[in-house]
Structure 1
Amino acid sequence: MMTVSKKTVMAIKSYQNQAELLVRDYLLADPFVPYTSVLGGILACKMVYDIMQLISSFYFRSYAALTKIQKIEWNNRGISTLHAIFITIMSVYFVIFADLFSDRRLAGLVIFRSSPLSTFVLGVSVGYFLADLGMIFWLYPSLGGMEYVLHHLFSLVSVAYSMLSGEGQFYTYMVLISEATTPGINLRWYLDTAGMKRSNTYLLNGLAIFFAWLGARVLLFFYIFYDVYLHSYQVNQMQPFGRLLVYGVPSVLAIMNLLWFAKIVKGLKKTLAKRQ
């Protein structure tokens, strides 16, 4: 029995070593990172969509009563939520905890720093935006109007440029932290669709959206503009298109965020007034 156990352990270690070599030498090798990560992001979206469809059919009674387009949006928001959680965690890691963009590191200008892992994560996000944008166009305007199209196009172009060029990844990750608000927005839709608009959960989620949006999509963007100003001498060394993205995309997204924030405040006031 001990001999079989040792052989099993050795076989597992052998497969593990082969998998690590595959990831290091191919999936995370510099020439292949953009392609494997984008493809992986698209395939992950398809997998999550199918899993959401399967789980929802068994565990959510309200799912069966939904229309075809509602079921598609239900599954699609599952993809959106998972991507938001993933990219928020990775963005916070790179911006705050990782040494890659730290001012203490004396390895060139921050604006030009990148790594195979940071590029891979951006590629997964590009795959998501491609898949989600495709679904929005396919079912337009059922999954979102022109504001969603513009948001995804700006995000896709800026993230893809940062992934392919290696420029401005620090600011790309700072902007992507704003995806922290997406799970709350999706939960609001789920609760509304499930007929729980008058529940305490709906109200608490609305309050959470308000504070999350204020922090991640309003105050954060003011800090991004301030940091870009402090490092403008670095930004001005980027390629012209890269500079346009750093200065332009956060500005456009900030305006959209403020417009959406006004709607959130109006909706929250309306909800609170009904409960008095």
Structure 2
Amino acid sequence: MLDPQDKFISPRSICMINADAGLKTSVMSLQSYRYQAEAIVKDYLLSDPAVPYTSVLGGIFMCKLAYDLTQLISSFYFKGYSSLTKIQRIEWNNRGMSSVHAVFITILSLHLVFFSDLFSDYHLEGFVTFRSSHLSTFGLGQVSVGYFITDLAMIFCLYPSLGGMEYVLHHLLSVSAVAYAMIYGEGQLYTYMVLISETTTPAINLRWFLDTAGLKRSNAYLVNGIVMFLAWLAARIFLFIYSFYHIYLHHDQIKQVHTFGYLLVFVVPSALAVMNTMWFGKILRGLRKTLAKRQ
């Protein structure tokens, strides 16, 4: 206990010591709240058997939140937003929502596939086809199943304004594979490999934003086209080739999953690979046309 009359301690020093003590108390309080939040996530959100289902509802809510935030931000910071048609504003907000989903699922997928020990052949025992964690299961429900259900519902309601039959097929295949991996815990590695392809979505959406905003002749539009081409080549062509190679190497493990899961491992990536190749051809032709106009 400090004595204010102590000749060796000035009143200013006492104030500084008291302020430092108050700061430490505040930091300890914040740490306590953080530990409590982590405990809630660990003991409830990531352990309750009902979480795969409740997380889907949470994912739908997050999509609605992202949609509304896109609408709010765009109305304040983009002058041309109010002049768009009703269907253009809906698609604008929808693409903002899909960009948010793409960022979250790409980060989570890259972490689990390449930086985590969960699916590593060298750090854990057991077949990779049966490996899962609370985080991987929660992520599939919270981030992807909820998103695909929301986006698919919007596509159906406004068909074909938000996408044709190829988008419907893409989403149906995706939600089937993701939901199966979430519920049964099988093939989550390959599900996350495929979900890494969502890394191309922000560039695709940005291209539509620039076109709608009348910036098709800008340098940003050209740079976006080059980035989209490279991202698509890496995430939807080369990565799928690596996925098929990985499936080939682990075919003896894949044979152990249920029949429906076995079919999903082969059918979904194959169908998406065909669609990705077709879209890649369109991207390449579009980039060539844009570069030709610049010369």
Q: TM-score range by the shorter chain?
A: over 0.9
Which residue of structure 2 lines up, in the alignment, with residue 85 of structure 1?
103
CA–CA distance in structure 2, aligned partners of residues 48 and 178 of structure 1:
20
TM-score, structure 1 as length reference: 0.95
CA–CA distance in structure 2, aligned partners of residues 39 and 139 of structure 1:
22
Q: For residues 144-183 of structure 1, what are the structure 2 equivalents within 5 Å?
A: 144-183=163-202
Question: Does the 8 Å CA contact 1:41/1:128 hold for their aligned counterparts?
Answer: yes
Q: CA deviation at 1:32?
A: 2.7
User: What number of residue pairs does the alignment pair up?
Assistant: 276
From 107, 122, 126, give the equivalent of 2:145: 126
Which residue of structure 2 lines up, in the alignment, with residue 219 of structure 1?
238
Runs (4+) of structure 1 moved beyond 2 Å? 1-22
Which of the pair has more CA radius of gyration?
Answer: 2
Question: Does the 8 Å CA contact 1:34/1:163 hold for their aligned counterparts?
Answer: yes
CA–CA distance in structure 1, aligned partners of residues 217 and 140 of structure 2:
38
Which residue of structure 1 lines up, in the alignment, with residue 5 of structure 2?
none
TM-score, structure 2 as length reference: 0.89
Residue 71 (1) aligns with residue 61 (2): no
CA–CA distance in structure 2, aligned partners of residues 222 and 6 of structure 1:
53
Contiguous gaps of at least 5 residues in structure 2: 1-17
Q: Which amino acid aligns with 2:120?
A: S
From 18, 25, 36, give the equivalent of 2:54: 36
From 232, 239, 246, give the equivalent of 2:265: 246
Could you list the per-position Cα deviations for residues 132-159 of structure 1 after superposition, in whole angstroms to 9, with x for gaps in the alignment? Answer: 1111111111111111111011000000
Q: CA deviation at 1:20?
A: 2.6
Q: CA deviation at 1:205?
A: 0.6
For 1:123, what is the secondary structure of its paired residue? helix
Q: Which amino acid aligns with 1:27?
A: L
- Aligned CA RMSD, in angstroms, stands at 1.6
From 148, 155, 159, give the equivalent of 1:140: 159
Question: Does the 8 Å CA contact 1:122/1:159 hold for their aligned counterparts?
Answer: yes
Question: Does the 8 Å CA contact 1:87/1:179 hold for their aligned counterparts?
Answer: yes
Could you list the per-position Cα deviations for residues 38-93 of structure 1 after superposition, in whole angstroms to 9, with x for gaps in the alignment? Answer: 12211111111111111111100111110111111111111101111111111111
Question: Does the 8 Å CA contact 2:118/2:124 hold for their aligned counterparts?
Answer: no
Q: CA deviation at 1:273?
A: 1.5
